[in-house]
Amino acid sequence: MRGPVAPRDPEKKRQFFYLMKDKNVFAFPLPDGKGITPIYLDGGRLIEASKFVGNLSDENLIDMLKTAEGFKKLVHSIGVIVDGCDKDTECKFVFQFYGKNDLLGGGTLLEMPVECNGSEHLLDLSAIDLTDEDKEVGQLRFEYGANEFTANVTVKLYLNDGFDAPPQEEDTPADLTSKEFAVHVKDSVVQVGNSYRFNKAVEKAKRGEDTTIAFIGGSITQGAGAVPINTECYAYKTYEAFKKLTGKDENIHYVKAGVGGTPSELGMIRYDRDVRRDGQVEPDIVIVEFAVNDEGDETKGVCFESLIRKIWNGVSKPAVIVLFSVFANDYNLEERLSPVGRAYNLPMVSLKKCVTDQFYKTKDTGRLITKAQYFYDVFHPTNTGHSVMAMCLEQVMKDLVVSKSDEDTDFDKVVSPIGTDFDTVVLLDKKDMPVEAVIDAGDFDSTDTELQAVEMNMDIKGTPEFPNNWRFDAKKHGSFTKPFTMEIEAKRLLIINKDSGSPLEGVAEVYVDGEFVRSINPLDIGWVHCNPLIILNDKECKKRKVEVRMAKGSEEKSFTILGFGVVR
């Protein structure tokens, strides 16, 4: 190929910092055969990524990233590099601002074609005018002409004149096999705990009997950040480690049941369906991971302890291992939840104890892995991070094999450290009614199919959560007239609603025995996701009447009841 006769002088390179650096991503399949990789940047995620990937620490610059106006003032252009896949793959880079009133549909949307050949493409923001509706940077995404392949992407933020970017360090590859890192892995074991049930499961596996290891948690357990999500997630790698530990393969079975953005308050309700598959699966080992999701637990730990007891009391008497993951800002709820593990003498593993302290060292003083290497974004691990999690779980499993507990822990003798109000909770929905209930759906007579979907087990396509729901469809009815009612005997009740970012969704009100309990606004969270809320917490089991109606001003908007959690 001949070059231009008179090539232009190169444009002066502006100062920049990384938002993503050589990040391995996966093209998730869409119904039309195309692929997509969404990267969410709202809710502080843009700032955290700029800190741990781009080394940004200037508080003035950080404040500018909080709003669309500030971002536009700071950032001149966005550099995008895509490689590691077929160079002929069609790719489009999309950068989206979220709206103030219409979150997903009201903000400015910027698009740029990108060649998948490792060359840098620039999206110039200097000539683009934002609107009054633009609130904040919402997401970026890569849209492809094909799906189910991996690529490496880099995104740089080039700054306008007058702003200085921090130095951009090149990371030394993390050596997870070093003796030094092995020390950190051992430090992750908070306590080995009682090994009786775990070793029973190991013995069962070694005899060639069917043995199931299951995982329940949030988006990290779902596999978020792992590429591909089904084989690079910590759950699958731990399953592989357990097979190696027992020397067995085909008789070892795997259940992965992570649901992004949801706490143990939902986990305790969905455990029977998502892990036990309504009694078709009885796990022998269950890893529980909610340490970074339970800020949303209304009970501040009662639901977590209830879930632990619910699992422990299962017919298969499974071993329970508690896993504390960590966010890039060092946050988790280990301090709140670890008393449960200590009281019941459960194995506990902490990623915070493994990696966090060394993040703040230099290469010369003992840093073995950087935040950018461990974290995919502010919340989720990279493939390397998922590997570290699996290594820590493998360590506690090895410790459990060495530790020989002669008898099981008697949970009935344990003094509850937080509370066990929901340890017998069951899910009630349109399909399953494990307890007697009289239901009149009223105007909630439709079924919602636009649901939160998650990659279960080895799947890379999402399985809808709570498909047997009740929906008030305003498009069908025009305006709300008749409430949903349910008569049921219970002492505690939770309602699960669908959150959404759509302005077509409205506020509902919940009444129990004629008394107003709470209003539920599905737009509070801002994305399609399952939201459990307590509507009754009493000590006496008696007949109750639950009523759900659209609030004043929302009569012409829709709302979905995904199901109920019932304690009798």
3-state secondary structure 12-78: CCCCEEEEEEEEEEECEECCCCCEEEEEECCCCHHHHHHHHCCCCCCHHHHHHCCCHHHHHHHEEEE
Q: Tell me the percentage of the chain whose pLDDT exceeds 90.
A: 84
Q: Which residues of 120-150 are buried (b: 16+ CB within 10 A; e: fewer)?
A: eeebebeeeeeeebbbbbbbbebbbebbebe
| Lookup: tokens for 245 | 């530990």
Mean pLDDT for 30-56 is 92
Residue 202, pLDDT above cutoff 80: yes
Is the distance from CB of 375 to CB of 52 less than 8 angstroms?
yes
The DSSP output letter for 375 is B
Residue 1, pLDDT above cutoff 60: no
Rounded mean pLDDT of the chain? 94
Residue 10, pLDDT above cutoff 70: no
Short-list 254, 438, 235, 383, CA closest to 323:
235
| Lookup: tokens for 123 | 């999206």
Confidence at residue 389, expressed as pLDDT on a 0 to 100 scale: 99
Mean pLDDT for 367-380 is 89
Short-list 261, 143, 214, 193, CA closest to 529:
261
- Looking up tokens 């590997």, which residue turns up? 387
For residues 392 and 397, give the distance between their C-alpha atoms in angstroms, rounded to a whole number. 9
pLDDT tens for 322-352 read 999 999 889 999 999 999 999 999 999 999 9
Mean pLDDT for 169-184 is 91
For residues 105 and 39, give the distance between their C-alpha atoms in angstroms, rounded to a whole number. 17
Expressed in angstroms, the distance from the first to the final Cα of the chain is 76
125 φ/ψ angles, rounded to the nearest 5 degrees = -95, -10
For residues 227 and 451, give the distance between their C-alpha atoms in angstroms, rounded to a whole number. 23
- Determine which helix (DSSP H) or strand (DSSP E) holds 255, and give its type and residue range: strand 252-258
Confidence at residue 12, expressed as pLDDT on a 0 to 100 scale: 59
Is the distance from CB of 468 to CB of 444 less than 8 angstroms?
no
Q: Which of the listed CATH numbers 3.30.70, 3.30.420, 2.60.120, 3.40.140 matches domain 16-159?
A: 2.60.120
Q: How much helix, strand and coil, in percent to the nearest 5, is found in the chain?
A: 25, 30, 45
| Lookup: tokens for 192 | 């080995």
Domain ranges, ordered by start, for the chain: 16-159, 183-413, 426-567
Residue 283, pLDDT above cutoff 70: yes
pLDDT tens for 425-453 read 999 999 989 999 999 999 999 999 999 99
Confidence at residue 6, expressed as pLDDT on a 0 to 100 scale: 45
Residue 3, pLDDT above cutoff 60: no
Query: pLDDT grade, residue 11 (50/70/90)?
Result: low
Number of Cβ atoms within 10 Å of the Cβ of 452: 22
- Looking up tokens 């110039």, which residue turns up? 124
Residue 300, pLDDT above cutoff 50: yes
Torsion of CA 394, 400, 403, 409, to 10 degrees: 160
- Looking up tokens 């060359």, which residue turns up? 119
- Non-local (6+) Cβ contacts of 7 within 8 A are none
**Beta bridge partners of residue 211, listed in sequence order:** 252
| Lookup: tokens for 89 | 């793959």
Confidence at residue 542, expressed as pLDDT on a 0 to 100 scale: 97
**Kind of pairing between the strands at 559-567 and 285-289:** unpaired
What DSSP assignment string belongs to 430-492?
Answer: SS--SS-EEEE-TT--B------EE--TT-SSPEESS-S-EEE-HHHHSS--S-EEEEEEEEE
Is the distance from CB of 283 to CB of 275 less than 8 angstroms?
yes
Query: pLDDT grade, residue 89 (50/70/90)?
Result: confident
For residues 6 and 404, give the distance between their C-alpha atoms in angstroms, rounded to a whole number. 77
The DSSP output letter for 227 is S
Question: Which amino acid is it at 251?
Answer: N
Least confident of 99-103, 427-431, 466-470, 512-516: 99-103
Q: Does domain 426-567 have CATH number 2.60.120.260?
A: yes
Altogether, the residues listed in the chain come to a count of 568
Q: Is 380 helix (H, G, I), strand (E, B) or coil?
A: coil
For residues 430 and 468, give the distance between their C-alpha atoms in angstroms, rounded to a whole number. 5
More confident residue, 404 or 258: 258
Confidence at residue 252, expressed as pLDDT on a 0 to 100 scale: 98
DSSP E strands: which ranges in 100-179?
109-113, 120-124, 134-144, 150-159
| Lookup: tokens for 267 | 């986990």
For residues 382 and 223, give the distance between their C-alpha atoms in angstroms, rounded to a whole number. 10
Q: Which residues of 73-87 are buried (b: 16+ CB within 10 A; e: fewer)?
A: ebbbbbbbbbebbee
For residues 276 and 250, give the distance between their C-alpha atoms in angstroms, rounded to a whole number. 20
Q: What CATH superfamily classification does 183-413 receive? A: SGNH hydrolase (3.40.50.1110)
- Matching CATH topology for 16-159 and 183-413? no
Query: pLDDT grade, residue 84 (50/70/90)?
Result: confident
Torsion of CA 487, 491, 492, 495, to 10 degrees: 0
CA distances from 508 to 467, 471, 485 (A): 20, 11, 13
For residues 548 and 511, give the distance between their C-alpha atoms in angstroms, rounded to a whole number. 6
pTM of the model: 0.85
Is the distance from CB of 90 to CB of 145 less than 8 angstroms?
yes
Is the distance from CB of 455 to CB of 230 less than 8 angstroms?
yes
Residue 424, pLDDT above cutoff 90: yes
Is the distance from CB of 564 to CB of 486 less than 8 angstroms?
yes
